[in-house]
Amino acid sequence: MLNEKTIFTFIEKTEITSDGKKTFYFTQMQKPEDMIPMMVTGSLSFKKEEAEEMFNLIVQNNGQMESQTILKTIIK
């Protein structure tokens, strides 16, 4: 396998639409088993600073966008 690491990429994309020219930012993540990188859900923003902050959080958490911890279970 060529790549054994997860790749995180911060993207700026500009599109021409009927509303004019729009620029937005997002994070792509590619895991070793993925053939193509995918946009990380929740990372899209029209504000570069906001999107870059999200990018940094995504990288810090290795792409894990949520976690869950069982605090207590009772079986009677």
8-state DSSP, 45: B
User: What is the predicted pLDDT for the residue at 23?
Assistant: 96
End-to-end CA distance of the chain: 49
Q: Is the pTM of this model over 0.85?
A: no
User: What is the predicted pLDDT for the residue at 35?
Assistant: 87
8-state DSSP, 68: -
Q: What is the pLDDT of residues 30-76, one digit of tens each?
A: 998 888 999 999 999 999 999 999 999 999 999 988 889 999 999 99
Helix (H, G, I), strand (E, B) or coil at 54: helix
Residue 56's H or E segment, with its range, is helix 48-60
